[in-house]
């Protein structure tokens, strides 16, 4: 099976089967039937893509309530450290995170269920990042956690003090200020 469990139940690494020959390669990035057989029953309704430079950290972002989103994330070009933080109330792993390097070389994808904050840091010169969401974005329901929150103990593999952050991300609260 192309799915690898992580230390947080529900967060799953998808390792696609890649077919290579002298022309290049081919692989399925998503197959609803395969995902459902693995217990991932998400109906994706929106695809997003971003391009960023080395040292950029995007996140940690989430959608609240009925607008929560599950995501299937991957890298089309370059390399990122992708991070999912458990925000599910009552979860044994609340506040814990999973970090996985995703790249155009390993072609790994990460499935992040609803109830998680998500972010990534760019490890290569540039990175093109793509993801599917199972719910539409709603500005009124957005939330975020400061990526430098020491209680999260995330090693972003880039210097956080000199990372490039959006103005919005620079002022995000710490986890304990959100919940």
**pLDDT given for residue 38 in this prediction:** 93
Measured between alpha carbons, how far apart are the two ends of the chain, in Å?
36
Residue 16 structure tokens: 């696609």
In our burial notation (b when 16+ CB lie closer than 10 A, e otherwise), range 143-168 reads bbbbbbbeebebebebebeebebeee
What span, in angstroms and rounded, lies between the C-alpha atoms of 76 and 70?
Answer: 19
Q: Among residues 54, 67, 131, 137, which one is catalytic?
A: 131
The single residue listed with the structure tokens 């370059």 is 78
The DSSP line for 136-171 is ---GGGEEE--TT-GGG----SS-GGG-B--HHHHT
Please pick, among 25, 30, 54, 61, the residue that the annotation labels catalytic: 61
Catalytic: 61?
yes
25 is catalytic: no
What domains are there in the chain, each with its CATH number?
A: 3-178 (2.60.120.10)
Contact call for residues 50 and 73 (beta carbons, < 8 A): no
Return per-residue pLDDT of the chain as tens, 179 residues: 589 999 999 999 999 999 999 999 999 999 999 999 999 999 999 999 999 999 999 999 999 999 999 999 999 999 999 999 999 999 999 999 999 999 999 999 999 999 999 999 999 999 999 999 999 999 999 999 999 999 999 999 999 889 999 999 999 999 999 88
């Amino acid at each position: 099976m192309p799915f690898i469990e992580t230390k947080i139940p529900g967060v799953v690494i998808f390792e696609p089967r890649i077919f290579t020959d002298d022309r290049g390669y081919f692989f399925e990035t998503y197959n609803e039937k395969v995902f459902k057989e693995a217990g991932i029953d998400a109906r994706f309704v929106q695809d997003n893509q971003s391009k960023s430079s080395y040292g950029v950290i995007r996140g940690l972002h989430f959608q609240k309530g009925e607008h929560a989103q599950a995501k299937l994330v991957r890298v089309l070009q370059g390399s990122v450290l992708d991070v999912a933080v458990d925000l599910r109330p009552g979860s044994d792993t609340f506040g814990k995170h999973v970090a996985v390097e995703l790249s155009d070389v390993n072609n790994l994808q990460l499935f992040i269920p609803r109830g998680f904050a998500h972010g990534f840091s760019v490890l290569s010169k540039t990175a093109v990042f793509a993801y599917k969401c199972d719910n539409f974005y709603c500005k009124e329901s957005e939330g975020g956690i400061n990526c430098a929150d020491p209680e999260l103990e995330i090693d972003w593999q880039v210097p956080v003090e000199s990372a490039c952050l959006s103005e919005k991300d620079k002022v995000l609260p710490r986890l304990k200020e959100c919940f």
